[in-house]
Amino acid sequence: MARTADVVVVGGGVIGCAIAYELAKGGLGVTLVERGTPGCEASSAGAGMLAPQAESSAPGPLLALKLASKALYPDLAFELSERTGLDIEYETGGNLHCFLDEGDEAVGRAACAWQREAGLKAELLGRADALALEPDLSAEVRGALFLPDDHWVNNPRLVTALANAAAQERAAFVTGEVTAILRTGDRVTGVRVGDEAVRSAAVVLAAGAWSGQLAATAGLTLPIQPVRGQIVCLEGVPRRHHHLLHVKDHYLVPRVSGQILVGASVEWVGFVKQVTAEQIRAFLDAAMRVVPALGRVPIQATWAGFRPWAPDERPVIGPWPGLDGLVAATGHFRNGILLAPVTARLIRELLVDHAPSFDLTPFLPDRFLH
Ligand code: GLY
Protein backbone atom coordinates (compact mmCIF):
# COMPACT_ATOMS: atom_id res chain seq x y z
CA MET A 1 0.00 0.00 0.00
CA ALA A 2 1.27 3.47 -0.85
CA ARG A 3 2.48 5.69 1.98
CA THR A 4 0.24 8.73 2.57
CA ALA A 5 0.71 12.17 4.10
CA ASP A 6 -1.13 15.48 4.24
CA VAL A 7 1.89 17.18 2.71
CA VAL A 8 5.06 15.91 1.05
CA VAL A 9 8.04 18.26 1.24
CA VAL A 10 10.52 17.56 -1.54
CA GLY A 11 14.01 18.50 -0.38
CA GLY A 12 15.73 18.34 3.00
CA GLY A 13 17.75 21.54 2.89
CA VAL A 14 17.20 24.41 5.28
CA ILE A 15 14.03 25.47 3.44
CA GLY A 16 12.49 21.98 3.40
CA CYS A 17 13.39 21.24 7.02
CA ALA A 18 12.08 24.62 8.22
CA ILE A 19 8.83 24.00 6.33
CA ALA A 20 8.48 20.44 7.65
CA TYR A 21 8.93 21.75 11.20
CA GLU A 22 6.44 24.59 10.76
CA LEU A 23 3.77 22.44 9.06
CA ALA A 24 4.13 19.63 11.60
CA LYS A 25 3.75 22.18 14.42
CA GLY A 26 0.64 23.38 12.59
CA GLY A 27 -0.87 19.91 12.91
CA LEU A 28 -0.30 18.51 9.41
CA GLY A 29 1.03 15.04 8.69
CA VAL A 30 4.31 15.77 6.91
CA THR A 31 6.63 13.50 4.96
CA LEU A 32 9.92 15.03 3.88
CA VAL A 33 11.84 13.28 1.09
CA GLU A 34 15.58 13.88 0.77
CA ARG A 35 18.03 11.77 -1.19
CA GLY A 36 21.00 12.53 1.07
CA THR A 37 21.15 13.67 4.67
CA PRO A 38 19.29 16.84 5.68
CA GLY A 39 21.31 19.91 4.74
CA CYS A 40 23.96 18.00 2.78
CA GLU A 41 23.94 20.38 -0.20
CA ALA A 42 23.78 24.20 -0.37
CA SER A 43 22.46 24.61 3.18
CA SER A 44 25.74 23.37 4.64
CA ALA A 45 27.91 24.84 1.90
CA GLY A 46 26.91 28.42 2.70
CA ALA A 47 28.47 30.52 5.44
CA GLY A 48 25.32 31.18 7.47
CA MET A 49 25.04 34.92 6.96
CA LEU A 50 21.84 36.67 8.01
CA ALA A 51 22.82 39.84 6.20
CA PRO A 52 19.86 41.56 4.57
CA GLN A 53 21.77 44.84 4.41
CA ALA A 54 25.16 43.66 3.15
CA GLU A 55 23.45 41.48 0.57
CA SER A 56 20.98 44.01 -0.87
CA SER A 57 21.53 46.86 -3.28
CA ALA A 58 18.15 48.61 -3.03
CA PRO A 59 14.98 48.72 -0.95
CA GLY A 60 11.95 46.74 -2.15
CA PRO A 61 9.87 43.65 -1.43
CA LEU A 62 12.83 41.27 -1.32
CA LEU A 63 14.62 43.38 1.30
CA ALA A 64 11.37 43.56 3.28
CA LEU A 65 11.09 39.76 3.14
CA LYS A 66 14.71 39.36 4.28
CA LEU A 67 14.19 41.76 7.20
CA ALA A 68 11.01 39.95 8.21
CA SER A 69 12.86 36.64 8.21
CA LYS A 70 15.84 37.96 10.15
CA ALA A 71 13.46 39.25 12.82
CA LEU A 72 12.29 35.65 13.40
CA TYR A 73 15.80 34.37 14.24
CA PRO A 74 16.16 35.31 17.93
CA ASP A 75 13.01 33.37 18.86
CA LEU A 76 13.88 30.52 16.49
CA ALA A 77 17.36 30.14 18.02
CA PHE A 78 15.84 29.99 21.50
CA GLU A 79 13.09 27.58 20.46
CA LEU A 80 15.50 25.21 18.70
CA SER A 81 17.83 25.23 21.67
CA GLU A 82 14.97 24.44 24.05
CA ARG A 83 13.60 21.66 21.86
CA THR A 84 16.76 20.02 20.55
CA GLY A 85 19.57 21.13 22.87
CA LEU A 86 21.44 22.44 19.81
CA ASP A 87 22.94 25.92 19.85
CA ILE A 88 22.75 27.37 16.34
CA GLU A 89 25.35 30.02 17.32
CA TYR A 90 23.20 33.01 16.49
CA GLU A 91 25.79 35.81 16.43
CA THR A 92 24.83 39.48 16.44
CA GLY A 93 28.13 41.36 16.09
CA GLY A 94 27.26 43.14 12.85
CA ASN A 95 29.06 43.54 9.56
CA LEU A 96 32.12 45.64 8.71
CA HIS A 97 32.46 46.34 5.00
CA CYS A 98 36.14 47.31 4.88
CA PHE A 99 37.41 50.02 2.52
CA LEU A 100 40.77 49.50 0.87
CA ASP A 101 40.54 52.33 -1.68
CA GLU A 102 38.45 55.28 -2.86
CA GLY A 103 36.21 53.04 -4.96
CA ASP A 104 35.27 51.00 -1.88
CA GLU A 105 34.56 54.19 0.04
CA ALA A 106 32.26 55.50 -2.69
CA VAL A 107 30.32 52.20 -2.76
CA GLY A 108 30.11 52.25 1.05
CA ARG A 109 28.90 55.86 1.17
CA ALA A 110 26.16 55.11 -1.40
CA ALA A 111 25.06 51.98 0.50
CA CYS A 112 25.05 53.90 3.78
CA ALA A 113 22.88 56.64 2.25
CA TRP A 114 20.14 54.41 0.81
CA GLN A 115 20.04 52.16 3.84
CA ARG A 116 19.64 55.07 6.26
CA GLU A 117 16.98 56.51 3.96
CA ALA A 118 15.21 53.14 4.24
CA GLY A 119 15.29 53.43 8.04
CA LEU A 120 18.10 50.90 8.57
CA LYS A 121 21.12 51.27 10.82
CA ALA A 122 24.31 52.01 8.89
CA GLU A 123 27.40 53.96 9.93
CA LEU A 124 30.56 55.11 8.16
CA LEU A 125 33.63 54.49 10.31
CA GLY A 126 37.13 55.91 10.01
CA ARG A 127 40.13 53.62 10.40
CA ALA A 128 40.46 54.14 14.16
CA ASP A 129 36.83 53.24 14.81
CA ALA A 130 37.02 50.18 12.54
CA LEU A 131 40.16 49.04 14.40
CA ALA A 132 38.41 49.52 17.73
CA LEU A 133 35.88 46.91 16.57
CA GLU A 134 38.37 44.49 14.93
CA PRO A 135 41.96 45.09 16.10
CA ASP A 136 43.52 42.70 13.56
CA LEU A 137 42.57 44.73 10.48
CA SER A 138 45.48 45.46 8.15
CA ALA A 139 47.21 48.80 7.56
CA GLU A 140 45.44 48.91 4.19
CA VAL A 141 41.98 49.30 5.76
CA ARG A 142 41.14 53.02 5.66
CA GLY A 143 37.60 52.80 7.05
CA ALA A 144 34.46 50.73 6.90
CA LEU A 145 30.71 50.69 6.57
CA PHE A 146 29.32 49.24 9.80
CA LEU A 147 25.96 47.43 9.60
CA PRO A 148 25.20 46.42 13.20
CA ASP A 149 22.00 44.56 12.34
CA ASP A 150 23.57 42.00 9.97
CA HIS A 151 24.04 38.75 11.86
CA TRP A 152 24.97 35.09 11.25
CA VAL A 153 24.45 31.51 12.42
CA ASN A 154 26.15 28.13 12.22
CA ASN A 155 24.17 26.90 9.22
CA PRO A 156 24.93 23.13 9.31
CA ARG A 157 23.88 23.16 12.97
CA LEU A 158 20.72 25.09 12.04
CA VAL A 159 19.59 22.46 9.53
CA THR A 160 20.26 19.63 11.96
CA ALA A 161 18.27 21.43 14.65
CA LEU A 162 15.35 22.08 12.29
CA ALA A 163 15.34 18.44 11.14
CA ASN A 164 15.46 17.18 14.74
CA ALA A 165 12.69 19.55 15.80
CA ALA A 166 10.54 18.48 12.83
CA ALA A 167 11.08 14.81 13.70
CA GLN A 168 10.04 15.56 17.30
CA GLU A 169 6.80 16.98 15.86
CA ARG A 170 6.35 13.63 14.07
CA ALA A 171 7.36 14.72 10.58
CA ALA A 172 8.49 11.57 8.73
CA PHE A 173 11.83 11.62 6.89
CA VAL A 174 12.19 9.36 3.84
CA THR A 175 15.62 8.91 2.29
CA GLY A 176 15.32 8.51 -1.46
CA GLU A 177 15.25 10.30 -4.77
CA VAL A 178 12.00 11.86 -5.94
CA THR A 179 11.71 10.75 -9.56
CA ALA A 180 8.33 12.35 -10.31
CA ILE A 181 5.77 14.77 -8.97
CA LEU A 182 2.51 12.92 -9.53
CA ARG A 183 -0.64 14.58 -10.86
CA THR A 184 -4.09 13.64 -12.01
CA GLY A 185 -5.31 16.35 -14.35
CA ASP A 186 -4.96 19.67 -12.59
CA ARG A 187 -4.39 18.19 -9.10
CA VAL A 188 -1.16 17.03 -7.56
CA THR A 189 -1.46 13.57 -5.97
CA GLY A 190 1.94 13.00 -4.38
CA VAL A 191 5.43 12.04 -5.49
CA ARG A 192 7.23 8.96 -6.70
CA VAL A 193 10.29 7.96 -4.67
CA GLY A 194 12.18 5.30 -6.54
CA ASP A 195 9.51 2.73 -7.36
CA GLU A 196 7.08 3.79 -4.63
CA ALA A 197 4.42 6.49 -4.48
CA VAL A 198 3.85 8.76 -1.50
CA ARG A 199 0.29 10.04 -1.85
CA SER A 200 -0.62 13.50 -0.57
CA ALA A 201 -3.01 16.35 -1.25
CA ALA A 202 -0.17 18.87 -1.24
CA VAL A 203 3.45 18.83 -2.38
CA VAL A 204 5.95 21.53 -1.44
CA LEU A 205 8.78 21.80 -3.94
CA ALA A 206 11.81 22.83 -1.88
CA ALA A 207 14.57 21.09 -3.80
CA GLY A 208 16.87 24.09 -4.23
CA ALA A 209 18.96 24.01 -7.39
CA TRP A 210 17.25 20.76 -8.47
CA SER A 211 13.75 22.26 -8.36
CA GLY A 212 13.55 22.94 -12.10
CA GLN A 213 14.35 19.31 -12.93
CA LEU A 214 11.69 18.12 -10.51
CA ALA A 215 9.05 20.51 -11.83
CA ALA A 216 9.74 19.11 -15.29
CA THR A 217 8.64 15.65 -14.08
CA ALA A 218 5.10 17.08 -13.77
CA GLY A 219 5.38 18.79 -17.15
CA LEU A 220 6.07 22.21 -15.60
CA THR A 221 8.66 24.85 -16.46
CA LEU A 222 10.57 26.43 -13.60
CA PRO A 223 13.76 28.21 -14.72
CA ILE A 224 15.91 27.51 -11.66
CA GLN A 225 19.63 27.06 -12.33
CA PRO A 226 22.53 26.07 -10.07
CA VAL A 227 25.04 28.81 -9.24
CA ARG A 228 28.19 27.43 -7.70
CA GLY A 229 29.66 29.00 -4.60
CA GLN A 230 33.08 27.97 -3.33
CA ILE A 231 34.40 28.54 0.19
CA VAL A 232 37.66 28.04 2.06
CA CYS A 233 37.54 27.41 5.80
CA LEU A 234 40.47 28.52 7.98
CA GLU A 235 40.84 27.19 11.51
CA GLY A 236 42.72 27.93 14.69
CA VAL A 237 42.30 31.68 14.30
CA PRO A 238 44.07 33.02 17.41
CA ARG A 239 41.89 36.04 18.12
CA ARG A 240 38.14 35.72 18.33
CA HIS A 241 36.53 37.87 15.62
CA HIS A 242 33.19 39.38 16.51
CA HIS A 243 32.07 40.77 13.14
CA LEU A 244 31.32 39.63 9.67
CA LEU A 245 33.89 41.22 7.38
CA HIS A 246 33.39 42.13 3.74
CA VAL A 247 36.23 43.17 1.49
CA LYS A 248 35.61 43.85 -2.20
CA ASP A 249 33.40 40.93 -3.36
CA HIS A 250 34.47 38.58 -0.58
CA TYR A 251 33.29 37.91 2.95
CA LEU A 252 34.79 36.41 6.09
CA VAL A 253 32.45 34.74 8.57
CA PRO A 254 33.82 33.81 12.01
CA ARG A 255 32.60 30.75 13.88
CA VAL A 256 32.57 30.27 17.63
CA SER A 257 34.97 27.33 17.10
CA GLY A 258 37.79 29.61 15.89
CA GLN A 259 37.16 28.91 12.23
CA ILE A 260 36.73 31.62 9.63
CA LEU A 261 34.88 30.88 6.40
CA VAL A 262 36.04 32.92 3.40
CA GLY A 263 33.94 33.07 0.26
CA ALA A 264 32.31 32.97 -2.06
CA SER A 265 32.34 32.59 -5.80
CA VAL A 266 29.23 33.07 -7.95
CA GLU A 267 29.62 30.79 -10.97
CA TRP A 268 27.23 29.56 -13.66
CA VAL A 269 28.96 26.23 -14.36
CA GLY A 270 26.08 23.77 -14.05
CA PHE A 271 26.26 20.99 -11.48
CA VAL A 272 30.08 20.80 -11.48
CA LYS A 273 31.07 20.62 -7.84
CA GLN A 274 34.72 21.54 -8.09
CA VAL A 275 36.91 23.77 -5.99
CA THR A 276 39.30 25.68 -8.21
CA ALA A 277 42.80 26.97 -7.54
CA GLU A 278 42.08 30.46 -8.83
CA GLN A 279 39.07 30.95 -6.54
CA ILE A 280 40.88 29.68 -3.46
CA ARG A 281 43.79 31.99 -4.26
CA ALA A 282 41.38 34.94 -4.59
CA PHE A 283 39.75 34.10 -1.21
CA LEU A 284 43.10 33.77 0.55
CA ASP A 285 44.44 36.99 -1.00
CA ALA A 286 41.33 38.89 0.13
CA ALA A 287 41.46 37.38 3.63
CA MET A 288 45.14 38.19 4.14
CA ARG A 289 44.72 41.69 2.71
CA VAL A 290 42.14 42.55 5.33
CA VAL A 291 43.52 40.45 8.25
CA PRO A 292 47.21 39.60 7.60
CA ALA A 293 47.37 37.23 10.60
CA LEU A 294 45.16 34.80 8.66
CA GLY A 295 48.20 33.96 6.52
CA ARG A 296 49.58 31.91 9.42
CA VAL A 297 46.60 29.68 10.19
CA PRO A 298 45.82 26.29 8.67
CA ILE A 299 43.29 25.65 5.93
CA GLN A 300 40.73 23.25 7.40
CA ALA A 301 38.71 22.51 4.26
CA THR A 302 37.43 23.82 0.96
CA TRP A 303 34.08 23.05 -0.61
CA ALA A 304 31.46 24.11 -3.13
CA GLY A 305 27.68 24.09 -3.30
CA PHE A 306 24.89 25.10 -5.66
CA ARG A 307 22.63 28.05 -4.95
CA PRO A 308 19.20 27.92 -6.61
CA TRP A 309 19.00 30.93 -8.95
CA ALA A 310 15.92 32.29 -10.70
CA PRO A 311 16.44 34.74 -13.59
CA ASP A 312 15.09 37.71 -11.60
CA GLU A 313 17.04 36.64 -8.49
CA ARG A 314 13.91 36.50 -6.35
CA PRO A 315 12.75 33.39 -4.48
CA VAL A 316 9.80 31.44 -5.84
CA ILE A 317 7.21 31.07 -3.09
CA GLY A 318 3.55 30.21 -3.50
CA PRO A 319 0.94 28.02 -5.16
CA TRP A 320 1.55 26.74 -8.65
CA PRO A 321 -1.07 28.20 -10.99
CA GLY A 322 -3.17 25.53 -12.69
CA LEU A 323 -1.92 22.62 -10.55
CA ASP A 324 -3.84 22.46 -7.28
CA GLY A 325 -1.83 21.35 -4.28
CA LEU A 326 1.64 22.12 -5.65
CA VAL A 327 3.44 24.88 -3.76
CA ALA A 328 6.88 26.25 -4.60
CA ALA A 329 9.45 27.21 -1.96
CA THR A 330 12.70 27.54 -3.85
CA GLY A 331 15.01 29.89 -5.75
CA HIS A 332 16.41 31.53 -2.61
CA PHE A 333 19.76 32.06 -4.35
CA ARG A 334 22.19 33.75 -1.91
CA ASN A 335 19.71 33.99 0.97
CA GLY A 336 18.41 30.52 1.75
CA ILE A 337 19.58 30.50 5.35
CA LEU A 338 18.28 34.01 5.95
CA LEU A 339 14.91 33.41 4.28
CA ALA A 340 14.14 29.96 5.71
CA PRO A 341 12.06 31.07 8.73
CA VAL A 342 9.80 33.46 6.80
CA THR A 343 9.43 30.98 3.93
CA ALA A 344 8.34 28.27 6.35
CA ARG A 345 5.91 30.62 8.02
CA LEU A 346 4.41 31.65 4.66
CA ILE A 347 3.99 28.05 3.53
CA ARG A 348 2.25 27.27 6.81
CA GLU A 349 0.00 30.30 6.34
CA LEU A 350 -0.83 29.12 2.81
CA LEU A 351 -1.52 25.49 3.68
CA VAL A 352 -2.94 25.72 7.20
CA ASP A 353 -4.38 29.22 7.63
CA HIS A 354 -5.03 29.95 3.91
CA ALA A 355 -4.01 33.58 4.52
CA PRO A 356 -0.39 34.59 3.94
CA SER A 357 0.70 37.55 6.06
CA PHE A 358 3.01 38.96 3.36
CA ASP A 359 2.15 40.09 -0.16
CA LEU A 360 3.52 37.18 -2.19
CA THR A 361 2.89 38.77 -5.59
CA PRO A 362 6.58 39.45 -6.39
CA PHE A 363 7.52 35.88 -5.48
CA LEU A 364 4.75 33.79 -7.06
CA PRO A 365 5.65 31.14 -9.65
CA ASP A 366 3.13 32.80 -12.02
CA ARG A 367 5.78 35.27 -13.09
CA PHE A 368 7.51 32.63 -15.22
CA LEU A 369 4.38 31.63 -17.10
CA HIS A 370 3.82 34.84 -19.08
N1 GLY B 1 24.95 34.45 1.05
C2 GLY B 1 26.27 34.31 0.64
C3 GLY B 1 26.49 33.62 -0.62
O4 GLY B 1 25.58 33.18 -1.29
O5 GLY B 1 27.64 33.51 -1.00
> Closest residue (by CA) to atom 4 of ligand 1?
334
Determine if ligand 1 sits within 6 Å of the CB of residue 289: no
Determine if ligand 1 sits within 6 Å of the CB of residue 156: no
Determine if ligand 1 sits within 6 Å of the CB of residue 231: no
Determine if ligand 1 sits within 6 Å of the CB of residue 208: no
User: Which atom number of ligand 1 is nearest to the Cα of residue 49?
Assistant: 1
Nearest alpha carbon to residue 323 among 225, 219, 193:
219
Determine if ligand 1 sits within 6 Å of the CB of residue 229: yes
pLDDT tier, 369 (very low <50, low <70, confident <90, very high otherwise)? confident
Identify the H or E element spanning 114: helix 102-117
Nearest alpha carbon to residue 29 among 217, 200, 143:
200
How far is residue 205 from each of residues 129, 138, 174, 316, measured CA to CA in Å? 46, 45, 15, 10
Average pLDDT over residues 47-72: 97
User: Which atom number of ligand 1 is nearest to the Cα of residue 266?
Assistant: 5
Residues of CATH 3.30.9.10 domain(s) within the chain? 225-309
pLDDT tens, residue by residue, 300-317: 999 999 999 999 999 999
pLDDT tens, residue by residue, 177-229: 999 999 999 999 999 999 999 999 999 999 999 999 999 999 999 999 999 99
**Does the CA dihedral 210-320-14-50 come out positive or negative?**
positive
Q: pLDDT at residue 370 above 70?
A: no
pLDDT tens, residue by residue, 109-167: 999 999 999 999 999 999 999 999 999 999 999 999 999 999 999 999 999 999 999 99
> Closest residue (by CA) to atom 2 of ligand 1?
334
The answer to whether 179 touches 193, Cβ cutoff 8 Å, is: yes
232 CA → ligand 1 middle, Å: 13
User: In the predicted model, what is the mean pLDDT of the chain?
Assistant: 96
191 CA → ligand 1 middle, Å: 31
User: Looking at domain 3-84+155-224+311-368, what is its CATH homologous superfamily?
Assistant: FAD/NAD(P)-binding domain (3.50.50.60)
pLDDT tier, 1 (very low <50, low <70, confident <90, very high otherwise)? low
User: Looking at domain 225-309, what is its CATH homologous superfamily?
Assistant: D-Amino Acid Oxidase, subunit A, domain 2 (3.30.9.10)
Determine if ligand 1 sits within 6 Å of the CB of residue 307: yes
Q: What percent of the chain has pLDDT over 90?
A: 95
Residues of CATH 3.50.50.60 domain(s) within the chain? 3-84+155-224+311-368
